[in-house]
A = this chain, B = another copy of it.
């Protein structure tokens, strides 16, 4: 790194530290793949770079003594990627991480932050390549693949570095002179105290198959900032985005003179899963995880030697009360339902609507009229194949298709799910959202998480009942988001209180181009840790502080040679 970049990185860190406390809008990176930020023809160059990786061994120079390689990714848009990755053993990755940690803690928070920000900047430059890699592993459509896994994910990484740095700054970095005067003429007690940031050990990041970078960068960068080494364990369906990430971070570390084995990739196969062995290794002291509640809870129960930060599944809800802008509501919710075919931890699933309907403006709308309005808005949104492809993306997993079929039987179909032809990829696995009206007392289906493009409309006695159901569901099933539409301030206040009790973030009256699914770095806290959907927050001080300890030395003054 040259001096310019060092001073630029310092400025970025300073901005980020202000931003995490202000929580107004701030971003370090452009969301536009076209234009000046990424250079002329960046999108095409990214696609070319992606294609150049297909059918080969991914070039990553980490320990792999067995010389085994694995990888069987298949794009939800149809093609086999044919890329293989080093299948290093857990033991050699742990040993390499521990060896790399011999010097990393002593480097100090400033130097660590600087090289990590350099890594984030390099990740940013690679955003067009990342977009292609994400698209053909997760199924995300190009725009989301670029924004959410490029600049937005990089912002979350920067946010984690800023929080870690900010937290470590609360501990004196220079020796402290402690003097206590005594009342009885005895000489004062005088001690020089040193406070040392001590890392926890090996940190493991278990990435999801749908948002691998966005969800795992915070843990990876916070752990590195705290002085730990990180082993990244991608989902076998979405290895490439994490392989690219690991490779770029390794390059930044290497170029700055640090051991690249501070970050390694741990690849497994669906036939021989390795996550459990990795998470239970005694050297592993931190585990970050995003994925199913089942495995998240297994980690919490079993990986007792480690601090586990887990984002699991929940059921997100919408409460529709009397509200005037039905068109704005319907189009906003339709987009929220459709975006990436509901394969987001923030997508709404259960929509509570009073069985007697609502009022809007001067007239009343029955439950079925509201349902029809929502269905119409969804249908409209996905009517044109090109637009449908850009919003829906592709379905990552076959299991999601089965889930749609299953959900059809849950109640009365308001809008059926149908296959869509992708204009460019004829093999793409695409489905429009299914909207089903459940019976109001169908607790089984209301409490069933249906990951994917599945929306349940639930009749309630009234909005008070909707609020109570939202709270009970979030407390029992977990939830990342609640969305409310109401023109009544009192109802908004009561919902806010219920959401706070259930530990779930509330979005009120979103009718424009901002959607409940989206979480903005430096402003939105993603996951509260206060209901079963997560035990931590992306990102806050609590997310970073368990990644290091402070150990002190006190030297009595005058007594050393």
A interface residue numbers (CB < 8 A to B): 20-25, 32, 166-167, 170-172, 176-180, 182-183, 186-187, 189, 191, 193-196, 198, 200, 300-301, 304, 324-325, 328, 487-489, 492, 496, 499-501, 503-514, 520, 523-525, 528-530, 537, 540-542, 545-546, 549-556, 559-561
Q: Are A23 and B195 neighbours in the complex by a CB distance under 8 Å?
A: yes
A507 / chain B contacts, CB cutoff of 8 Å: 553-554, 556
Complexed CA–CA distance, A510 and B537 (Å): 43
In the complex, the chain B residue whose C-beta lies closest to that of A191 is B514
Q: A23-B172, A505-B554, A554-B506 are in contact. Are A178 and B520 (CB under 8 A)?
A: yes
Q: A194-B496, A530-B549, A554-B505 are in contact. Are A178 and B24 (CB under 8 A)?
A: yes
Q: Are B551 and A189 neighbours in the complex by a CB distance under 8 Å?
A: no
Q: Which 4 A-B pairs have the closest CB atoms?
A: A530-B549, A509-B559, A542-B545, A508-B555
Q: A196-B500, A529-B549 are in contact. Are A559 and B513 (CB under 8 A)?
A: no
In the complex, the chain B residue whose C-beta lies closest to that of A505 is B552
A524 / chain B contacts, CB cutoff of 8 Å: 193, 552, 554
With A508-B556, A524-B554 given, name 15 new contacts (CB 8 A). Answer: A23-B178, A170-B540, A176-B523, A178-B520, A180-B520, A189-B513, A193-B523, A193-B524, A196-B496, A198-B501, A489-B561, A511-B559, A525-B552, A541-B541, A545-B545
Complexed CA–CA distance, A301 and B305 (Å): 11
A189 / chain B contacts, CB cutoff of 8 Å: 512-514
Complexed CA–CA distance, A556 and B300 (Å): 36
Complexed CA–CA distance, A487 and B541 (Å): 40
Q: Are A551 and B176 neighbours in the complex by a CB distance under 8 Å?
A: no
Q: Are A553 and B499 neighbours in the complex by a CB distance under 8 Å?
A: yes
Complexed CA–CA distance, A324 and B554 (Å): 19
A166 / chain B contacts, CB cutoff of 8 Å: 170
A23 / chain B contacts, CB cutoff of 8 Å: 172, 176, 178, 193, 195
Q: A193-B23, A511-B556, A541-B541 are in contact. Are A178 and B523 (CB under 8 A)?
A: yes
Complexed CA–CA distance, A524 and B549 (Å): 14
In the complex, the chain B residue whose C-beta lies closest to that of A559 is B509
Complexed CA–CA distance, A176 and B19 (Å): 12
Complexed CA–CA distance, A489 and B554 (Å): 14
Q: Are B187 and A512 neighbours in the complex by a CB distance under 8 Å?
A: yes
* Most chain B beta-carbon contacts within 10 A, residue among A194, A500, A504, A529: A500
